Structure 1
Amino acid sequence: MKTIATCVEEILVSQPFLEDALTRNILNFSALSEELREPISKMLRKPVKAGAIMMALRRYSPPKEMANKVKLNKVLQNLGDITVRSDISDYTFKNSPSLIHSHLKMLEVIKEDPHIFYTFTRGVHESNVLITNTLKKHMEDSYKDEVCTTMQDHLSAITIGLPKENTKIAGLYYQFFKRLAWEGISLYEVVSTTNEFTILVEDEVVDTAFSAVKSLKN
């Protein structure tokens, strides 16, 4: 049977920003109670008082994973180097039998320079390639027989080194997405390996994005 408390919990869990603000004590409980009165009344199919909702909000205890942030904070404080690369191009191709051969052609071009930024990600129906603009001509030659559905220039890549224990920490990636969302930054692409996490953003917001990510280490 649903209660006001369970309705409050259901709403907060479905709205991470709201829950985070509540746990940080930066919400006006009275205003929020009034805001939640109508949806909770609909959920319970009867009118409820704002005072009862406020009491449930004050008694709300976040899940253990949210309350115990010691491990998460430790990982954030131990983030590795944050590297920014500009002048990146993003290509999306339809998957085809020949696509892997095009990829191999490009690998032959870049194999002598380990510092070149190049990623290849294969999905179910399409594949994505990120590469430094200086190799754009080589890129288009290597993939000339493929169907390119989208191409975007003027991107920057921010790569964050992650501690080895990152795979055991729940909510780590959420911290990055939440912080960038607070800043109103749209992510053009996301690429990750076991111990690295790379986000692609448009050039004009890279400084704000870098500052947002760096602030997580503090």
Structure 2
Amino acid sequence: MKTISSVVEGYIKSKPFLQSALAQGIINLTSLSRSIKPEIEEQLGKEVRNGAIVMALKRLSADLEFRATHKILKVLKNIGEITVRSSLTDYTFMLSETILNKQAKLLQEINSQDTFYTSSRGVNETNIVVSNTMNAVVEEIFSSERMLQKEENLSSISVKLPEENVVVPGIYYFIFQRLAWEGIILNEVISTTNEFTIIVGEDQIDKAFKVIKDLKGL
């Protein structure tokens, strides 16, 4: 049997941004109850008092599951080195039988220079981000490949995470949520076990850096 509490909980869980705002106590419960009342009533098939919805919301906001949990905050407080690089170019190429050989040639060129390089591979395409000083080299090596996209004037932020990040759920959601709240567009996200890199426009790098740096003080 559906109850007010279960229906309200289900509704909040389906709205990640709303869930986080509720967990942090930065939302007016009375106003929220009025806003969601029609949907709660529709799911229950009967009229519901605002006060009952407010009580259900209070119980949820007090529940540890709906808080910025201690484990997540502990990991974020221990964020390590944050490295920023600018003047980057992001290339996307269609996968082909020859593209790995082209990447090997590019790596040989990069090994002899102090330059930024990162790459990721999907099902149908591969992505390469390099310092813009390597643009001519990339375009020469990959001249016979199908280029799907080229984005210039980008910057990167690489973040070192504590080792426990792999056993604590919600770390990346917590970080990317705050970047989204600030209207920051992520061109690329590349990660390893204990490190991730975001690629953003150079006009957004200062704001993005502040968001990530401020995570340590939560």
Normalization by structure 2: what TM-score?
0.94
- 1:15 equivalent in alignment to 2:15: yes
SS where residue 145 of structure 1 aligns?
coil
- 1:78 equivalent in alignment to 2:62: no
Question: Counterpart of 2:190 in structure 1: which amino acid?
Answer: V
CA distance in 2, matches of 1:28, 1:158: 34
- 1:168 equivalent in alignment to 2:175: no
What is the count of residue pairs matched by the alignment?
217
Does structure 2 retain, via aligned residues, the 8 Å contact 1:180–1:212? Answer: yes
| Moved beyond 6 Å, runs of 4+ | none
Deviation at 1:53, TM superposition (A): 0.9
Deviation at 1:135, TM superposition (A): 0.6
Equivalent residue runs for 1:116-195 within 5 Å: 116-195=115-194
- Distance verdict in 2 for CA 1:30–1:66, change over 3 Å: closer
- Which 5+ residue runs of structure 2 have no aligned equivalent? none
CA distance in 1, matches of 2:79, 2:16: 23
Does 46-55 or 97-106 show the bigger shift?
46-55
Equivalent residue runs for 1:86-125 within 5 Å: 86-113=86-113, 115-125=114-124
Does structure 2 retain, via aligned residues, the 8 Å contact 1:65–1:170? Answer: no
- Distance verdict in 2 for CA 1:65–1:50, change over 3 Å: closer
CA distance in 2, matches of 1:186, 1:20: 20
Question: Counterpart of 1:94 in structure 2: which amino acid?
Answer: M
Does 127-136 or 52-61 show the bigger shift?
52-61
What value does the CA root-mean-square deviation take over the aligned residues?
Answer: 1.6
Does structure 1 retain, via aligned residues, the 8 Å contact 2:119–2:126? Answer: yes
- Which 5+ residue runs of structure 1 have no aligned equivalent? none
- Distance verdict in 2 for CA 1:64–1:26, change over 3 Å: closer
- Equivalent residue number for residue 47 of structure 1: 47
Percent identical pairs in the alignment equals: 44
- Distance verdict in 2 for CA 1:65–1:194, change over 3 Å: farther
